[in-house]
Structure 1
């Protein structure tokens, strides 16, 4: 009878197995104010192709994927850990067929001999909003973030590791109370004011004011703020001319022209296209203003027919 004693179950890296590093480059990430706690800020993924056997397990054993630094779990959020930026967490996992394996993880093997090969998988990294107030800065300090290794060989010779780089920018803007619903009253304009196609009525100036709070990091890492104007385009397709609201007593052959007056000069508006206002301040609050001008404009040949001439446009804040 053959007796085997003191056999230690373990997995060992094969001598010809390579070690790879996954570089997670998230770039510059802007946290939009509309995100709620628990929402995903961004998602990054990396395809790991199927590969040959890289480890052999004897009488069982395990492979581990661990953080290579101290990480603190975020209470109440599954598999989310704090980053170096307040209010921002990180979740890391691999997708293999129908299986999701989160970091940290342990895969166990139980056969007398098991050959462990690299399956095709997608390695994914999520950033998650974890608090109402978020900060700005480098996501995590440089150095290894995770390491995958066998229990027999140990972390000194990993199968693969990961490093991360990226920068978080937190910027917020809200519409000034006086700009939330702007009513521009053109008053009564005689139809005889218009002498032909593209002739215009009196001008009326107004402004959209945004109160913006910047993050805590200087240089070009503040949010770039734009305003997008949307409206029903007049059938003449004249740039920046919105259609008159249909009504039984509506005026004819006329529309409402909107232009921006940034830097004191008129610029044609393209509906649906962002107008850049500038960047949010550093560690301070400021007002970004979009000065605008509106007027009636004749949109067809012939005479302008009298009647009501109302129109509506909406604006949306955009962050980059």
Structure 2
């Protein structure tokens, strides 16, 4: 019994064992040695990470067709997909031992900034977020947290394991710059290993899963089929413009585009005579001889406010023209006279505006 005790290297108890042998005899020594043996076997010095159920897997997440607006701002999410981890990988359980300080982590590959990593298509990056739907589950983050991420945990239960049943995953494809599809439009991104577990001392580690993301990327764009649109309003009578804000001479016209299907078209009108104009009244252009009158352009029944000549998303006074069905897209508008401040003087009325498209 003394030789067995020493083989387990539980030397901290050797003095106690000798003490019991000297005082109580061999039977008490056997009881103490057996107790010490149980303590030594529970010590996690030789813990190893291993699957309890399942095995290493590679999950393939297909994002389908991802349509990328050509002039969307950098940072725009062009496709997103959220799912339960088990729907892509099947359920897995694993452990690094009972009461063993452990670390779980999700990795990314390649270079990236702000948790967005390069794919094989220039201008498109990927961001992967992970969380647990059960708050507090072995210290797993309970809100969407971008990878790479890691957290420390301990499994106190003798038969406890870490299970993937609560894990949630979201994939975002993000515009990172000018999109170049000249090489390929088949997006592919691979991480291996992706999900890992290890003991805190690094003595043992386990690759739980690898990740592959795929998508077919197309670009959304429009071309203007009419670069200049001339609208002629009927003659107006002073008697129809007697009060400030009164209108007359409503005339319909269209802006015509050719767009790929699914393109969200947004428009900004800019006063070509006064580019700082942010009102809904288009000022008079050179060649006008009337005064006390201006022009309005309406989208439906709503007068359009003017904004900067810029195609950026969320441009000041930018408005939505709708989603293209594919092919020719007509944007119906109305122009009309509007009474402004000052004396109303009859004469020629001219206005000039530019329109700028933003494809989302």
Q: Normalising by the residue count of structure 2, what TM-score does the alignment of the two structures yield?
A: 0.46
Query: Quick check: 22-31 or 1-10, which moved more?
Result: 1-10
168, 176, 180: which one aligns with 1:135: 180
Shift of 1:127: 1.4
Q: Which residue of 2 aligns with 1:154?
A: 206
Counterpart Cα distance in 2 of 1:79 and 1:27: 22
Counterpart Cα distance in 2 of 1:80 and 1:275: 28
In the alignment, does 2:49 pair up with 1:11? yes
1:157-197 CA distance string (max 9 Å, x none): x3x44332212222333657944xx45214359xxxxxxxx
SS of the residue corresponding to residue 7 of structure 1 reads helix
Number of residue pairs aligned between Structure 1 and Structure 2: 243
CA RMSD of aligned residues (A): 5.7
Q: Normalising by the residue count of structure 1, what TM-score does the alignment of the two structures yield?
A: 0.51
SS of the residue corresponding to residue 170 of structure 1 reads strand
Counterpart Cα distance in 2 of 1:112 and 1:277: 58
Is the Cα–Cα contact under 8 Å of residues 126 and 173 in structure 2 kept in the other structure? yes
Is the Cα–Cα contact under 8 Å of residues 111 and 118 in structure 2 kept in the other structure? yes
Query: 1:122–1:53: structure 2 CA closer, same or farther, 3 Å change rule?
Result: closer
Query: 1:61–1:204: structure 2 CA closer, same or farther, 3 Å change rule?
Result: closer
Superposed, 1:86-165 pairs within 5 Å as 86-96=122-132, 97=135, 99=142, 100-109=144-153, 115-118=160-163, 120-131=166-177, 133-136=178-181, 137-140=185-188, 147-151=194-198, 152=204, 154-155=206-207, 158=208, 160-165=209-214
Query: 1:289–1:140: structure 2 CA closer, same or farther, 3 Å change rule?
Result: same
Q: Which residue of 2 aligns with 1:40?
A: 77
226, 231, 234: which one aligns with 1:184: 231
Superposed, 1:169-180 pairs within 5 Å as 169-173=218-222, 175=224, 178-179=227-228
Higher strand share: 1
SS of the residue corresponding to residue 206 of structure 2 reads coil
Superposed, 1:229-268 pairs within 5 Å as none
Q: Which residue of 1 aligns with 2:65?
A: 28
Higher helix share: 2
Query: 1:44–1:316: structure 2 CA closer, same or farther, 3 Å change rule?
Result: farther
Query: 1:57–1:113: structure 2 CA closer, same or farther, 3 Å change rule?
Result: farther
Q: Which residue of 2 aligns with 1:62?
A: 103
SS of the residue corresponding to residue 139 of structure 1 reads strand
1:257-306 CA distance string (max 9 Å, x none): x9xxxxxxxxxxxxx99695746xxxxxxxx6859999xxxxxxxxxxxx
Is the Cα–Cα contact under 8 Å of residues 226 and 277 in structure 1 kept in the other structure? no
Which has the higher Rg, Structure 1 or Structure 2?
2
Is the Cα–Cα contact under 8 Å of residues 126 and 171 in structure 2 kept in the other structure? yes
**Structure 2 regions of 5+ residues with no counterpart?**
11-39, 136-140, 199-203, 237-250, 268-297, 301-319, 335-354
Query: Quick check: 24-33 or 93-102, which moved more?
Result: 93-102
Query: 1:319–1:145: structure 2 CA closer, same or farther, 3 Å change rule?
Result: farther
Is the Cα–Cα contact under 8 Å of residues 128 and 172 in structure 2 kept in the other structure? yes
